[in-house]
Amino acid sequence: MRICGYLTTAMIKKVLVTGATGRTGSLVLQKLRQNSDRFQAMGFAKSPTKVQEMFGSTEGFFMGDIKDKCTIETALQDCSALVILTSAIPKMKAPPSPGERPEFEFEPGGTPEEIDYYGQTNQIDAAKKAGIEHIILVGSMGGTNPNHPLNKLGNGNILIWKRKAEQYLIDSGIDYTIIRAAGLLDTEGGIRELIVGKDDTLLNNPPNGIPTVVPRADVAEIVVQALQESDARNKAFDLMSKPEDAPDIVITKDFSSLFQQTTPGM
Ligand SMILES: NC(=O)c1ccc[n+]([C@@H]2O[C@H](COP(=O)([O-])OP(=O)(O)OC[C@H]3O[C@@H](n4cnc5c(N)ncnc54)[C@H](OP(=O)(O)O)[C@@H]3O)[C@@H](O)[C@H]2O)c1
């Protein structure tokens, strides 16, 4: 809304992005900040040093641990939306011997149960208390299969805990958008056709056997679009992309139509 040439602050949505020093979270924060006429974007991160290195300043950041509900509540003040991009991060135990598979573990306090379940339910509880209208949660495909190899990493059952937190979000009564991404690529965004699905059908039967991957930059764009499109509200969906050199691709630009193909509930 423009009044006498000025954009009213009432139209600017204040959004908190957690996991903002992560590889996808940082892209979301950057994109939101590039659209400062529509968003006031705040970051939430563990390490001020990492924030300083990545963004050149700690301005617009809250420092804290998602296991501490009070810090999240403070960070959420006056926000209307929350983007959850935190995740437990498996670490390789030691370089594997030739011919052996690497083994992974989670640091104490950093297991999927602690980060992907309690860390996320903490954020959802804090959001409820702060009156947040909309939560966007980025998770992963594969959660319908308890035997998925990612669940074996460090015996962390990461996809199982992520899925429990997704159910918690749906049950919270806050408007949700749950994006379950395919394998994440650090490649250019905006040059692929994005496709959505549900219940791991794309993962189990990818169209024409294409790789089940999606650039982080495209996931970040979907987050930004979901903050603006009513068709993204109260939806959960799997997200992947067609290869940029696949024949007859239609580069995704109409996000409203994409969200219209998605459905509510787990
Ligand atoms: N990797 C894949 O191929 C893949 C595929 C599908 C879906 N996904 C999912 O997509 C999402 C984004 O993945 P990504 O690779 O972009 O994420 P990422 O780079 O691993 O970032 C995770 C973020 O969580 C933060 N974090 C972890 N524990 C925290 C705590 N206790 N308090 C505050 N922050 C905490 C980390 O902080 P620091 O920066 O300080 O470490 C980091 O910023 C994740 O849910 C992931 O599981 C990944």
Query: Which residue segments constitute the domains of the chain, with CATH numbers given?
Result: 9-260 (3.40.50.720)
Q: Which residue in this structure is represented by tokens 């996931």? A: 219
**Residue 1 above 80 pLDDT?**
no
Mean pLDDT of 145-158: 96
Q: Express each pLDDT in 12-36 by its tens digit.
A: 999 999 999 999 999 999 999 999 9
DSSP helix/strand/coil, 18: strand
Express as a percent the part of the chain with pLDDT over 70. 96
Residue from 106, 138, 160, 184 whose mutation best tests the ligand 1 pocket (most atoms within 8 A of CB)? 184
Whole-number Å distance between alpha carbons of 68 and 228 = 29
From 29, 42, 44, 46, the mutation candidate for ligand 1 (largest count of ligand atoms within 8 A of CB) is 46
Rounded to the nearest 10 degrees, how much is the dihedral formed by the CA atoms of 84, 85, 88, 92?
Answer: 180
pTM for this predicted structure: 0.96
Is 57 catalytic? The answer is no
Q: Which of 26, 87, 140, 241 is catalytic?
A: 140
pLDDT > 90? residue 251: yes
Is 259 a residue whose pLDDT tops 50? yes
pLDDT digit string (tens) for 55-104?
A: 999 999 999 999 999 999 999 999 999 999 999 999 999 888 888 889 99
